[in-house]
Amino acid sequence: MSERLAYLSPEIILFIGTCLVMVLGVSPRVELRKLCAFVAGISLFLAGVTGAGLGDMPTSPFPALVPYAKGMVGLVGVLILLLLSGTVDRELESRVAAGKEKFDALKANRAEFYAFFLFSMTGLMLCASADDLIWLFLALELTSLPTYVMVTISTRGTKSQEAGVKYFFLGALGAAVFLYGFALLYMGTGSTNLTVIREVLLTQADHEGINLIALAGLALSLIGLSFKIAAVPMHAYVADVYQGAAASVSAMLAFVPKAAGFLAIILLLGTVGWHYGVADTSGHALGEGHSLPESLRIILWVMAVLTMTVGNVLALLQNSVKRILAYSSIAHSGYMLVGIIAGPRGADFTSNGLAAAMFDLLSYGLMNLGAFAVVACLERNGEECDSIDDLRGLCKTHPWLGWTMVICALSLLGFPMTLGFFAKVPLFTSAIAAGEITLVVILGLNSAIAAFYYLRLAAPPLLDESAGEAAERTPYVDRVMAGVLSAAFAIGLVFIAGFVMDRAERAVAPSVFADADTHAAADDASDHP
């Protein structure tokens, strides 16, 4: 038990940070209240570093997923936090600071906002180390529940309340569906422990075939989780919610639930496929029947194709930057699903679809954040500017923001020399390695469709002259920093892509091979004394 606790140290750090933030936030002293974001940042950073430094968690079905995911959450989390600054509290705080109003802890929501954010990140980290269905469910809900509140209070307008309600009800529906799926999975296998479920399903597959109820449970879980990752069939809320919430919160919505959903999908599907797919560590041979069950593969395939296509085609019709990014978020889920379908075929990164999806998740988190940051940084009369027209001439009027948009849009498009390209190529290669040629062609065509609307994001800042009343830059420099840092990562990570790819590849190596890995490592060590 204590050993398990050690693997939860990042979450514990985050929880302590959360408590501190909540206490600080109701302090009547403004200096202490202002510390909220800082404390949140420190605890996220510490949690991320601790998480990345964790060893492989032996009880998890994917032992090395834990450090990779927690490191990734820490990195992107800090950037999201920078972006969140000033989202909820600027009006009240400025009036209190000016002495126009007395501080009232009941009215202020800075503390709740940051605390909810930290709770959500805690949930996300917990997802990565889940080894049990109940744990997984709780972690997923811990990730999502705070976001419902965050969406609602993110702006003072009615739109975000509408968005919050939509998000909450559909989220509840999604949660109900995958919880039902989990229950069926338990019914079909008799356990909630993922490792035990895997063994049971393996035995079933070898004898009478996989229990249909368990299979139905997995299928329902996938459908339910499609809410989290913003994929068809539960994608309908995305555009409205992202548009209704403040851009900084939308940036978070595009990454945090998606990451949780994909981690959950990998853990769940790991019980029924793949791990028998990689026959040995030297990367040879896949026998028959070693991939996902055909029925699940078909569900995923249809989901992936519809998600990519719906996301990209609907994005073509939008004029709001937030809505474009919302549909691009849907489309990217489709791309990542391609990696999930491909699965970890071979021993190296290029044919490992799961690793490709994990790498894409990280790079998507970064470049998407940059694009949203630009929207979050532009305002006119205190309102966000999220029309494409507001991007015109940005490279001249606000060079940092303009170039961030150009780089991030090109990276989202997957243009060569940007991180997005290096994230997309492995998806291609792994799908080809899995023999999914049709899927690759659809992926390619979708990337081409996407070029149109990403150009609409990348071109106006660079090429147009600003027209009409120019948008102003937000007074919050943190947000600009978040955007610029994301763009810097979208270029800079290319140079250490090899290292991150290695991590991603290790992250998705299932525990059944942990022994083999140790042997291989021991062999290596003996080779090089």
Partner 1 sequence: MDTWLLPILIFLPLLGAGAIILLPTRDSYVVALWTTLIALAIGVGALAGFDWSDAGAFQGELSVPWVPALGLELSLGVDSVALLLILLTLLLGPICVAASRTAITERMKTYFAWLLVLQAAMTGVFAARDLAFFYICFEFTLIPMYVLISLYGSSNRRYAATKFFLYTFTGSIIALAGLIYVVYVNATSSYGSGEWTFDIATLQSTAVQMNPNQQGWVLLAMLLGFAVKVPLFPVHTWLPLAHTEAPTAGSVILAGVLLKLGTYGIYRFCLGFTPGAIHEYAGVIAILSIIGILYAGLICWVQQDVKKLIAYSSVSHLGFCILGLVALNTIGVAGSVLYMINHGLSTGALFLLIGMMYERYHTRDMEQIGGLARKMPVWSTFMVFFVLASVGLPGLNGFVSEFMCLIGAFQSDAIDQRAALGTTPGRLGPWYAAIAASGMIVAAMYLLIMVGKVVWGREREPRDHHSHAVLPDDLCAREIAVLAPLAILCIALGLFPTPILKAVEAPVNDTVEWVWTQSGNADALARNPENTVEVAKAEGDK
Where do contacts with partner 1 occur on this chain (CB under 8 A)? 346, 348-351, 410, 415-417, 421-422, 425-426, 428-429, 432-433, 437, 440-441, 444-445, 447-448, 451-452, 455, 459, 462-463, 494, 497-498, 501-502, 505
Name the maximum alpha-carbon separation found in the chain: 75
- Nearest approach, Cβ of 306 to partner 1 (angstroms)? 20
In the complex with partner 1, the residue whose CB is nearer, 123 or 346, is 346
Do residues 339 and 265 touch, judged by C-beta distance below 8 A?
Answer: no
- E strands of 396-524, at which residues? 472-473
- Cβ neighbours around 134 below 10 Å, total: 13
- Nearest approach, Cβ of 423 to partner 1 (angstroms)? 11
In the complex with partner 1, the residue whose CB is nearer, 141 or 517, is 517
In the complex with partner 1, the residue whose CB is nearer, 355 or 485, is 355
Q: Which residues of 262-292 are buried (b: 16+ CB within 10 A; e: fewer)?
A: bbbbbbbbbbbbbbbbbeeeeeeebeeebbb
Tokens of 148: 């419902």
Q: Which residues of 119-128 are buried (b: 16+ CB within 10 A; e: fewer)?
A: bbbbbbbbbb
- Nearest approach, Cβ of 498 to partner 1 (angstroms)? 5
In the complex with partner 1, the residue whose CB is nearer, 212 or 437, is 437
What is the C-alpha to C-alpha distance for residues 167 and 244, in angstroms, rounded to an integer? 10
Tokens of 100: 């126009």
In the complex with partner 1, the residue whose CB is nearer, 126 or 406, is 406
Pairing mode, if any, of strands 378-380 and 383-384?
A: antiparallel
In the complex with partner 1, the residue whose CB is nearer, 343 or 346, is 346
- Nearest approach, Cβ of 292 to partner 1 (angstroms)? 20
- Nearest approach, Cβ of 349 to partner 1 (angstroms)? 4
What is the C-alpha to C-alpha distance for residues 489 and 366, in angstroms, rounded to an integer? 7
- Nearest approach, Cβ of 297 to partner 1 (angstroms)? 20
Do residues 17 and 124 touch, judged by C-beta distance below 8 A?
Answer: no
- Nearest approach, Cβ of 105 to partner 1 (angstroms)? 51
- Report the DSSP beta bridge partners of residue 384: 379
In the complex with partner 1, the residue whose CB is nearer, 157 or 435, is 435
